[in-house]
Amino acid sequence: MRKLQQQVVANGLASPLIPDQDAELHVDSVSHCWPNGDHVLNRCNLTIQRPGLWMLVGSNGSGKSTLFRLIAGLLQPQSGSIACKKPAALVFQNPDHQLLLPSCGSDLLLGIRSSQSMDQRRDKVEACLDQLGLHGLATRPIHTLSGGQKQRLAIAGALASNAGLLLLDEPTALLDPKSQRTVLSAVHNLCHDPTSPITALWITHRLDELNEADGAAQMSQGRIGPWTTGRELRQRLQSGRSDR
Ligand SMILES: Nc1ncnc2c1ncn2[C@@H]1O[C@H](COP(=O)(O)OP(=O)(O)O)[C@@H](O)[C@H]1O
Ligand SMILES: [Mg+2]
């Protein structure tokens, strides 16, 4: 953790445009303007190291979700470029917007490449459920899950798709405090797994969540500020100071 935090501080001070072998994602001078003339991203730069849990904060309308849609390939950059080592998977604020099939297992199967045998795919489903604390729920109807369980299932679906980067867009905004902590701790554990840690970029409005981040940055006026530790950004925001 300490090493990751040192890395992120160093990275924040360096140019984010320098290619970096350990980077999972490079966003290089990306701009986006909506048809109504709203310039939401303005030569935005971002580099995400792997692995780790990286967090972004920013006021409503500052362009965070637009940036995620660009990284996930749902929108094309109007200028600049985005380089991702492996495809990214989006997790929305509301899991009901992405859980499609009736049971937990069938929903996860949907995201696994069909080139694998059915046994391999079922093993993968079980493994992803286990990783999110949903052991034995493959046949459970999704509508019987709690909000926190649904959100963890959505994250399991992102894992099942073998994405290199999880993009979590305010994943705890609709959850009660206990489910919020469970979801955050599940993702934190995945990002610090001793054998195959993953990389996640997490948008939050809950400042206490920043304590769990390996690095955090603030988005405003279409750009992302320098990386800092989550605790430092939380303290700065709580004391009313901004980096701009
Ligand atoms: N599909 C869209 N068409 C037009 N404007 C949009 C669209 N999606 C988002 N916007 C606008 O882009 C701005 C940034 O939105 P968004 O990326 O959702 O911000 P955030 O996630 O930081 O709250 C807002 O002003 C929003 O109204
Ligand atoms: Mg948003």
CATH code: domain of residue 68:
3.40.50.300
Q: Would you say residue 114 has pLDDT above 90?
A: no
Residue 204 in contact with ligand 1 by CB distance below 6 A: no
Span from the CA of 61 to the centroid of ligand 1 (angstroms): 6
Q: Would you say residue 37 has pLDDT above 80?
A: yes
Residue 74 in contact with ligand 1 by CB distance below 6 A: no
Atom 1 (ligand 1): residue with closest C-alpha?
Answer: 34
Residue 29 makes CB contacts below 8 A (sequence gap 6+) with 17, 43, 44, 45, 79, 80, 81
Atom of ligand 1 nearest to the CA of 63: 17
244 within domain boundaries: no
Rounded CA Rg of the chain: 18
Residue 64 in contact with ligand 1 by CB distance below 6 A: yes
- Which residue range is the domain that position 193 belongs to? 2-238
25 within domain boundaries: yes
243 within domain boundaries: no
Residue 55 makes CB contacts below 8 A (sequence gap 6+) with 201, 202, 203, 204, 209, 210, 213, 215, 216, 217, 230
Structure tokens given for 203: 């948008």
Q: Count up the domains in the chain and report the number.
A: 1
Structure tokens given for 58: 């920013």
Over range 124-145, report the average pLDDT. Answer: 97
Residue 114 in contact with ligand 1 by CB distance below 6 A: no
Residue-level pLDDT at 243: 52
Own/partner contacts of 174-180, CB < 8 Å, gap of 24 or more, are 174/93, 174/94, 174/147, 175/147, 175/148, 175/151, 176/147, 176/148, 178/148, 179/146, 179/147, 179/148, 179/151, 180/148, 180/206, 180/209
Looking at all shown ligands, the one closest to residue 66's CA atom is: 1
Residue 167 in contact with ligand 1 by CB distance below 6 A: no
Q: Find residue 52's DSSP bridge partners.
A: 199
Over range 61-79, report the average pLDDT. Answer: 96
Give the mutation target among 27, 33, 34 for probing the ligand 1 site: most ligand atoms within 8 A of CB: 34
Half-sphere exposure of 234 (CA within 13 A, CB side): 16
Q: Would you say residue 11 has pLDDT above 50?
A: no
User: Tokens 């992803």 belong to which residue?
Assistant: 128
52 within domain boundaries: yes
Atom of ligand 1 nearest to the CA of 169: 21
Q: Would you say residue 12 has pLDDT above 70?
A: no
Pairing of strands 223-224, 215-220: antiparallel
What mean pLDDT, rounded, does the chain reach? 90
Atom 10 (ligand 1): residue with closest C-alpha?
Answer: 34
Q: Would you say residue 7 has pLDDT above 70?
A: no
Looking at all shown ligands, the one closest to residue 60's CA atom is: 1
Kindly report which listed range (30-39, 102-111, 113-122, 221-230) carries the lowest average pLDDT score: 113-122
164 within domain boundaries: yes
Atom 4 (ligand 1): residue with closest C-alpha?
Answer: 34
153 within domain boundaries: yes
pTM exceeds 0.85, yes or no: yes
172 within domain boundaries: yes
Q: Would you say residue 48 has pLDDT above 70?
A: yes
110 within domain boundaries: yes
Atom of ligand 1 nearest to the CA of 203: 21
Q: Would you say residue 123 has pLDDT above 90?
A: yes
Looking at all shown ligands, the one closest to residue 171's CA atom is: 2
Q: Would you say residue 94 has pLDDT above 60?
A: yes
Q: Would you say residue 206 has pLDDT above 80?
A: yes
Residue-level pLDDT at 162: 87
CA 57 to CA 170: how far, in whole Å? 10
User: Tokens 């304590």 belong to which residue?
Assistant: 211
Q: Would you say residue 238 has pLDDT above 50?
A: yes
